Amino acid sequence: MAAEGSGDRMGRRIPFTVPLILAAALVGFVSRCEGGVTSSFVRKTEKTIDMPIDSDVFRVPPGYNAPQQVHITQGNHDGSAMIISWVTMDEPGSSKVLYGTEKHKLDSSAEGRYTRYKFYNYTSGYIHHCNIRKLKHDTTYYYAIGIGHTVRMFWFTTPPRVGPDVPYTFGLIGDLGQSFDSNVTLTHYESNPKAQAVLFVGDLSYADNYPNHDNVRWDTWGRFVERSTAYQPWIWTTGNHELDFAPEIGETEPFKPFRHRYHVPYKASGSTSPFWYSIKRGPAYIIVLASYQAYGKYTPQYKWLEEELPKVNRSETPWLIVLVHSPWYNSYNYHYMEGETMRVMFESWLVKNKVDVVFAGHVHAYERSHRISNIAYNIVNGECQPVPDESAPVYITIGDGGNLEGLATNMTEPQPSYSAFREASFGHAIFDIKNRTHAYYEWHRNQDGNAVAADSMWFQNRCWKSADKNECSV
């Protein structure tokens, strides 16, 4: 287990205490490189393949025009609204949501809208989105959809009112896809009884790996994840597999399937695009960035982030979390340096604003960095190495959901000094915020039971080193 505050003379934090060393010894040989730990946990090497189209997880719910692919996400900035989305296949049907706090008394209703799209030779079902607002915090709501035909009911719990000391537990999943391994990852995540919402770091269905980006695989993915997405919000980040840019078959509108299927509350944070936005949820302020939208100087995303970061009130939301698809620090050979241009643009802002942690995906493996920054370099001064920086975020790559492209097993050697722990296994993570000063983070590889953490770390908030002083407000 790594803990904030302990470190060696290089300013590096010591990544393990005795119990975890013992645990590591049980699962395999752990080699120490100069920078940190490269785990050589031995996996069974099996090909990662997608679940066949007739798999039970893709089953269409019974009944005429039954709602399917149900998913929810936060509907406004403070968590008192929820966007409910689903697809009907036979006819549009109703876009209405009935909801209430008692299962047998759904005394509120909201009217949504539906949309559909064509992609090459595919025509989507009727994709409904309904934002239900003015919800009470920390309350379980039941909701029914499919009114008039086959009604299906689900439930969710709203987050507590935004505030510094409300505990909240996020799950972290990336690059999920729909392979047998994806199913193991999702099941493993669901086995955690505390996880309340998923921060998803991009690359959802991998439909674009099929001929003509077979959008039927967007539908199967929606049905596969419904068992989680219908009951707790997934906060969406876009990855390269959402681009669906295919001029060779006449599809030139990037992100067309994603934009129709997955709505996010971007306007609530003053964003002009669904690809970058922010939400507050309990004690956390979450900023979602877009690796595949322009972020150079003067661009809309650049301008938005420049104005957004100073708005974060760490006395209200102590935990500042950034989600982005392409990692800024990555010591695997896969996608090496792809996040570099965005790092160059934005890293100094994140350090200045004391972001606690940046979660990324894209690389199909796991990695956690030390707190480092690399912003001094000006092309002539030679200061081009990352250096320990207590104001910098921890960078975590969690692109290990288990999609059909398989694991990224090839690493740069030796392990760079900024890399604290890395392992090429599928898994997910949990970020468990306890209060304004501390959060406990765990990474769970798929081969382990849910009580086992293959990597873990106590996070100490960057603004609240102690409970009585917000150092960012000075």
Please, which residue, 203 or 208, has the CB nearer to Fe ion?
Answer: 203
Please, which residue, 75 or 239, has the CB nearer to Fe ion?
Answer: 239
Residue nearest to Fe ion (CB): 362
Please, which residue, 84 or 408, has the CB nearer to Fe ion?
Answer: 408
CB burial string 264-283: b at 16+ within 10 A, e below: bbbebbebebbbbbbbbbbb
Q: At which residue do the structure tokens 């849910």 appear? A: 450
Question: Near Fe ion by CB under 5 A, which window of 52-60, 164-172, 206-214, 231-239?
Answer: 231-239
CB count within 10 Å of CB 212 equals 15
Which residues in the 435-474 window bind Fe ion by CB under 5 A? Answer: none
Token pair, residue 348, equals 């100094």
Please, which residue, 16 or 328, has the CB nearer to Fe ion?
Answer: 328
Catalytic annotation present for 188: no
Q: Report, in Å, the least distance between residue 317 CB and Fe ion.
A: 28
Q: Give the C-alpha separation, 69 to 413, whole Å.
A: 43
Q: Report, in Å, the least distance between residue 176 CB and Fe ion.
A: 11
Q: Which of 4, 181, 203, 244 binds Fe ion (CB under 5 A)?
A: 203
The residues pairing with 360 across neighbouring beta strands, listed in sequence order, are 397
CB burial string 160-192: b at 16+ within 10 A, e below: bebebebebbbbbbbbbbbbbbbbbbbebbbeb
Question: Near Fe ion by CB under 5 A, which window of 16-24, 195-203, 292-300, 424-432?
Answer: 195-203
Which residues in the 316-375 window bind Fe ion by CB under 5 A? Answer: 362
Question: Near Fe ion by CB under 5 A, which window of 60-68, 199-207, 312-320, 452-460?
Answer: 199-207
CB burial string 94-132: b at 16+ within 10 A, e below: bbbbbbeeeeeebebebebebeeeebbebebbbbbbbbb
Q: Give the C-alpha separation, 189 to 194, whole Å.
A: 10
Q: Which of 169, 240, 417, 419 binds Fe ion (CB under 5 A)?
A: 240
Question: Near Fe ion by CB under 5 A, which window of 111-119, 240-248, 296-304, 315-323?
Answer: 240-248
Please, which residue, 201 or 392, has the CB nearer to Fe ion?
Answer: 201
DSSP, res 310:
G
Is the Cα torsion angle 399, 403, 405, 406 positive or negative in sign? Answer: positive
Please, which residue, 239 or 282, has the CB nearer to Fe ion?
Answer: 239
Question: Near Fe ion by CB under 5 A, which window of 100-108, 219-227, 237-245, 367-375?
Answer: 237-245
Please, which residue, 129 or 325, has the CB nearer to Fe ion?
Answer: 325
Query: How many chain residues touch Fe ion (CB under 5 A)?
Result: 4
Long-range contacts of 216-220 (CB under 8 A, 24+ apart): 216/53, 216/122, 217/178, 218/124, 218/257, 218/261, 219/68, 219/69, 219/87, 219/124, 219/125, 220/53, 220/58, 220/178
Q: x-or-dash pattern for Fe ion, window 277-316, by CB under 5 A?
A: ----------------------------------------
Q: Report, in Å, the least distance between residue 403 CB and Fe ion.
A: 9
Q: Report, in Å, the least distance between residue 326 CB and Fe ion.
A: 7
C-alpha closest to that of 432 among 234, 192, 137: 192
Q: Is 239 in the site for Fe ion (CB under 5 A)?
A: yes
Q: Report, in Å, the least distance between residue 224 CB and Fe ion.
A: 18
Q: Report, in Å, the least distance between residue 218 CB and Fe ion.
A: 16
CB burial string 395-414: b at 16+ within 10 A, e below: bbbbbbbbbbbbbbeebeee
Given the DSSP bridges, would you call strands 234-236 and 197-200 parallel, antiparallel or unpaired?
A: parallel
* 122 neighbors 214 (Cβ within 8 angstroms): yes
Q: Report, in Å, the least distance between residue 352 CB and Fe ion.
A: 28
Q: Is 237 in the site for Fe ion (CB under 5 A)?
A: no
Identify the active-site residue in 71, 241, 335, 444: 335
Active-site residues: which are they?
335
> Interface residues with Fe ion (CB under 5 A)?
203, 239-240, 362
